[in-house]
Every structure is written in structure tokens, then in C-alpha cells.
Amino acid sequence: MKEFFFTYQYQIIYTIITLLVLWFFQFGLKKAAQRVGHKSEIHITRTRLMFKYINILIVLIASFLLALAWGVGVGDLALLFSSVFAVIGVALFAIWSILSNITAGIILFFSFPYKIGSKIKIHDKDMPIEAIIEDIKAFHLHLRTMDGELITYPNNLILQKAVSLIEKEHYYDEGKDAL
């Protein structure tokens, strides 16, 4: 055991430092997302979704840095990441709507002017919708019409359509003070 620590002491120190720096970076990103969510009165479930995205980013960065520290060559990492991204690229091209909805969900988190509980009207010539925003998920919005009908509306479409605010009153305030 002693031999292991002496043999790999630089890698172990680099690993500890990298994990600590990334932990502080993750903490800072989560605090920033929490501040934006609290300041903009964004529902806690949407803020937690951003936390998941931050965790995925940190894990990818940590994997790359620790692989370099423990002797995996840059050429090997480049081959691995290019292969993985090629497979992911083909898969995402096949299911591009999922990627566009996730991207739209991130954009909605930071710049969507309507909140959960807002009564909105979506100006669509084929099917205009007047409803209350019940929930905002990673892929879609849950809208409740005045007739009680639940509509799931894709995030990428809400960014493409004109939307007007009818009432700003919050009908669903649960979890607002959970920060």
C-alpha cells in the first residue's frame, strides 16, 4: 500500500486538487443557478433540473482531467471522445427534437418571462391555446385549459410561437419558498 502511494503520489495529489477545484466550481455554479432561480421566482423543480445539468458537466470535465492525470494519452482520449461524440451525434441527429427541447428548456430557465401559475395564450393559427402554466419540465410545458384539459406543449415550440400573458396571478405557488 505504501508503495502505491509513493509510486503514484503526483497523480493522487493532482486527483485530490482536481476534485476539490471542481467541487468548488460545481458549488459556485449551483449557487449562481439558485440565485437566478430565486431572483426570477423560478419554480424549485426547474432549478433542480439545472443542478442535474451542472452535475453532468462537472462529471465530464472530471473524467477528462483525471484520465489525463492517470496516464491516458491525449491521442487516446481524442480517439475515445471523437468516437463517443460521433455515436452521440448520429443518435441525436436521429432524435434531434429531444436535443432541441432540452436546449429550449435551458433557454426557458434563464429567459422565459412567464412563471408557473401564469395564464397565457399561445397564438397558433392552427390551434390557439389559452391555459394556465401548471409545470415546466425539461422537454415540455404542462398547460391546463379552462375546461380542465391537460396539454403538454414542447419547449421548442413555445420559443417559436407568439405568447401573450393574460393574468400574472400565481395559481400554483407550491414550492416557491422551498429555496
pLDDT in tens, the chain (179 residues): 788 888 888 889 999 999 999 999 999 999 998 998 888 888 888 888 889 989 999 998 998 889 888 888 878 888 887 888 888 777 767 677 777 888 888 888 777 788 888 899 999 888 899 999 898 888 888 999 999 999 999 988 888 899 998 876 555 444 444 43
Map out the domains of the chain as residue ranges: 2-94, 114-167
pLDDT at 149: 94
77 contacts 64 by C-beta, under 8 angstroms? yes
C-alpha cell at 97: 427534437
Picking from 134, 174, 170, 141, the residue whose alpha carbon sits closest to that of residue 156 is: 141
114 contacts 102 by C-beta, under 8 angstroms? no
Helical H runs in the chain? 2-7, 9-39, 44-69, 74-94, 96-111, 155-158
Distance CA 51, CA 56 (A): 9
What is the CATH architecture assignment of 114-167? Answer: Roll (2.30)
Distance CA 94, CA 62 (A): 29
pTM attached to this predicted model: 0.53
DSSP one-letter code for 150: E
Picking from 4, 23, 2, the residue whose alpha carbon sits closest to that of residue 65 is: 23
pLDDT at 94: 65
C-alpha cell at 156: 421548442
